[in-house]
Structure 1
Amino acid sequence: MSINYYERNADQFFADTVAADLSQLQARFVRELPPSAHVLDAGCGSGRDAKAFADLGFHVTAFDAATEMVRRAAQHTGLPVLHMAFDDMGWTEEFDGIWASASLLHVPRVSLPSVLARCHKALRNDGILYTSFKYGSGERESDDRRFTDLTEETFREVIAEAGGLQIIELWRTGDVRPGRQSEIWLNSMVRKQG
């Protein structure tokens, strides 16, 4: 459902998100990474963040589940962008950091622990995972997309179910896109426990 939305609306979504200023969130993430880290942009959308991390000198791998977003992200970043979904992740201790900005929110609540377990497996010891979810409770459909909204409490439950991940920081921010400042996001920084 959500993938079809991005296939049909790729140009508009790219235009709406590619210039969004996430530099403050990116800086918080980068502070936790070792020099020359290998970063995975999981559900990269426009490729905005993958490009930012590559421009900072990190080795970046990026993927998206929508073919049209893969094409646009590859053009924007100059990086090879993989066409795959979270369920296709099979890496083992490959990444120092995983950036999942506004992407895991499309995963059904019941599947989140197993997807997070895949992220755990893909991270090196002490690796960092950043996520962002729309703030709220429950699952919903909107504009031909499905969303799993989380609060601090429900996020802690999901992390506990996944196992092996320790929350470093949980915080809320407003949406940085024009006209959407009233939308609240739940951000997290989580570390793989060695």
Structure 2
Amino acid sequence: MSDEETLNVYAEKATEYAKLTRDANDRDPLLTAFIADLPPGGRVLDLGCGPGTSAAVMASAGLEAHAWDPVAEMVALAAAQDSVTARQAGFADLTDVDAFDGIWANFSLLHATRDEMPGYLSGIARALKPGGRFHIALKSGTGSKRDRIGRRYTYYTDAELTRLLEEAGMVVTGRSSGVGKGLDGSEAAWISLAAHA
């Protein structure tokens, strides 16, 4: 994901975004379920981690937590989390094979273009160990557009996202949906799918 306008928004609002996500992750039932589905001490990747608050919850649960983000300001915040290994990297940097028990992509891949998504999902499938768990959450809908603060989004329906995961070689095992308020203050519908390699 190389959209400079989106990356610049996150760089400028890193601290604000950290405050927004900190409390939400502590009580996120999807994160709790993801952690419960992993082996004790498993190796996990928070892909597009932002300030690393999800990775911190995973680390506190005894997992080996790695956190990647393309924005230096976000990586600095993630690196400050206890027991989190942070790296400045994007979706295309995931070239590992059979490396992770779980990959968590929570409202990060929605910034990729529709053309980029199949390749990124294939890379995630390769990076997961056999049976490894994957979580993806995106804003639901169709098309793509920028939000009020300039971030570019690509929207997906449940059916389209399910098809993309299956084409990447993953099996969808659960789904959730809801409405939430993001960094720009707008309410938006979202979908989340759980899958395994």
Same structural fold, with TM-score higher than 0.5 when normalized by the shorter chain: yes
The corresponding residue for 2:173 is 168
| 1:115-194 aligned within 5 A | 115-142=120-147, 143-161=149-167, 163-175=168-180, 182-192=187-197
Q: Give the stretch that moved more between structures: 125-134 or 135-144.
A: 135-144
Answer yes or no: is 1:18 the counterpart of 2:13: no
| Partner AA of 2:138 in structure 1 | F
Say if 2:133 and 2:195, in contact at 8 Å, map to a contact too: yes
Ranges of 4+ aligned residues in structure 1 off by more than 3 Å: 176-182
Distance (Å, rounded) in 1 between the aligned partners of 2:7 and 2:183: 24
CA RMSD of aligned residues (A): 2.0
**Shift in Å, 1:182:** 4.5
**Structure 2 segments unaligned to the other structure (5+ residues):** none
Answer yes or no: is 1:85 the counterpart of 2:104: no
Distance (Å, rounded) in 2 between the aligned partners of 1:110 and 1:178: 25
Secondary structure, counterpart of 1:12 in structure 2: helix
The corresponding residue for 2:69 is 64
Pair 1:48–1:181, CA change in 2 (3 A): same
Distance (Å, rounded) in 2 between the aligned partners of 1:141 and 1:182: 14
**Shift in Å, 1:178:** 10
| TM-score normalised over the length of structure 2 | 0.89
Distance (Å, rounded) in 2 between the aligned partners of 1:65 and 1:178: 18
Equivalenced residues, count? 191
Q: Give the stretch that moved more between structures: 181-190 or 141-150.
A: 181-190
